[in-house]
Amino acid sequence: MNSFDSILIIGFGGPTRIEEVRPFLANVTRGRNISDERIQEVMHHYELIGGSSPYNELTLRQVHAFEEFAKKRGLNIPVYLGMRNWAPYLKETLAQMKKDGVRRAIGFILAPHRSYSSFDQYLENVEQAKRDSGFAELEVTYVDSWFDHPLFVEAVADRVRERGEGTFLIFTAHSIPKTMAQKCNYVWEIQTSSRFVAERVGVKHWTVAYQSRSGRPEDPWLEPDVNEVIHRLAMDGVRDLILVPIGFISDHAEILYDLDHEAKKTVESLGIRFSRVTTVMDHPKFIEMMFDVIHNVIASIAKQSPTQKNGVASSPQNGGSSQ
């Protein structure tokens, strides 16, 4: 028996129809001093991709696939999904967890590479949701980093294989401010994941590029942009590209617009052949990886003394470095 009574999967969230886009963007940009012009620009992006994001639907598929896999492996504890920026909101999810009487959860954040915005901010959101839902006594123990987990690497590699052969791989991840990147291992983790996947599929020529830059134009963010890399590679004579959004685990608006729309236009203007790899989503190896890192938390706590268990459980940052 393990001492955990629930699993909390934590995601970003996304609008499911056009009417939800503006309030969703208001949630995402709250406190960030984003101009209304930028909001209108992003709203237009949503219009171009059909008015919604597939993120919530795909994340629910991940959760359901995980629940089924966990039950087959004998892990029969309830699984909850909470989102930062859209329903089901974390506050609502924690309120339901309180009502259900759970007290000790394993937390799994749906982001492979850790920075403030992709990890620490989620921890803060959970703590705020605990206060907002009146559930301060909930203890959440987070899983270890999994950016280099063999099953994650293999799931991405399988997605690359599905697209056939390409002479050059461009791995993409969300750009973040350079000041944020200097305080964490985000760039190194992306490079490491990408290198492992390239080695697994036997492609020697690859690079990392960034996408989805936001914020003030005068603030330096991680570069190079994926479109700049495409132009450079075309100048170098590359004519066959595969885009691999390794920094994302579900297709969503930023992939559908930044890669399937903008990058596609860039590639087509240069006369290059290209394809875009599907994110891991509910790939069986990714679901197995989720189970593995969650099971590792259960096993590690089971080996510790009661004193150690209490100390670990009380730490919301357990299971990975807060970067």
Please state whether the peptide bond connecting residue 88 to the residue before it is cis, i.e. omega within 30 degrees of 0.
yes
**320 domain residue, yes or no:** no
287 in the same domain as 142: yes
Cα torsion through 127, 282, 211, 187, rounded to 10: 70
SS3 string of 240-254? EEEEECCCCCCCCHH
300 in the same domain as 266: no
212 in the same domain as 190: yes
Domain that holds residue 245: 150-276
**318 domain residue, yes or no:** no
Residues 88 and 174: their CA atoms lie apart, in Å, by: 23
For the cut 50, the answer to whether the pLDDT of residue 311 exceeds it is: no
**Encoded tokens for 282:** 């509910």
Inter-helix orientation angle 21-29/36-48, to 10°: 130
Per the structure, the count of domains in the chain is 2
Lowest mean pLDDT among 130-134, 260-264, 271-275: 271-275
**Encoded tokens for 131:** 């206060």
93 in the same domain as 215: no
133 in the same domain as 66: yes
Segment 310-321 mean pLDDT: 35
pLDDT of residue 281: 97
290 in the same domain as 142: yes
Q: Residue 2's pLDDT band (boundaries 50, 70, 90)?
A: low
Residues 145 and 114: their CA atoms lie apart, in Å, by: 8
Contact (Cβ atoms closer than 8 angstroms) between residue 277 and residue 162: yes
249 in the same domain as 179: yes
Residues 238 and 314: their CA atoms lie apart, in Å, by: 52
**Quick one: DSSP state of residue 33?**
-
Mean pLDDT for all residues in the chain = 91
For the cut 80, the answer to whether the pLDDT of residue 1 exceeds it is: no
Residues 274 and 247: their CA atoms lie apart, in Å, by: 19
**1 domain residue, yes or no:** no
For the cut 90, the answer to whether the pLDDT of residue 158 exceeds it is: yes
Segment 144-158 mean pLDDT: 98
**Quick one: DSSP state of residue 217?**
T
**Helix, coil or strand: residue 286:** helix
For the cut 60, the answer to whether the pLDDT of residue 159 exceeds it is: yes
**254 domain residue, yes or no:** yes
- Ranges of H-type helices in 52-209: 55-72, 90-100, 121-132, 150-162, 178-181, 186-201
pLDDT digits (tens, 9 = 90+) for 197-230: 999 999 999 999 999 998 777 889 999 999 999 9
Segment 157-163 mean pLDDT: 95
Residues 22 and 52: their CA atoms lie apart, in Å, by: 11
**192 domain residue, yes or no:** yes
Residue 95 sits in a domain whose CATH number is: 3.40.50.1400
pLDDT > 70: what percent of the chain? 93
Of the candidates 304, 247, 273, the one whose C-alpha atom is nearest the C-alpha of residue 114 is 247
Q: Residue 313's pLDDT band (boundaries 50, 70, 90)?
A: very low
For the cut 80, the answer to whether the pLDDT of residue 323 exceeds it is: no
How many degrees, rounded to 5, is the angle at CA 313 between CA 310 and CA 114? 150
**323 domain residue, yes or no:** no
213 in the same domain as 158: yes
pLDDT of residue 306: 52
106 in the same domain as 48: yes
157 in the same domain as 132: no
**14 domain residue, yes or no:** yes
Contact (Cβ atoms closer than 8 angstroms) between residue 141 and residue 318: yes
71 in the same domain as 142: yes
123 in the same domain as 30: yes
Contact (Cβ atoms closer than 8 angstroms) between residue 165 and residue 204: no
**pLDDT, greater one: 99 or 309:** 99
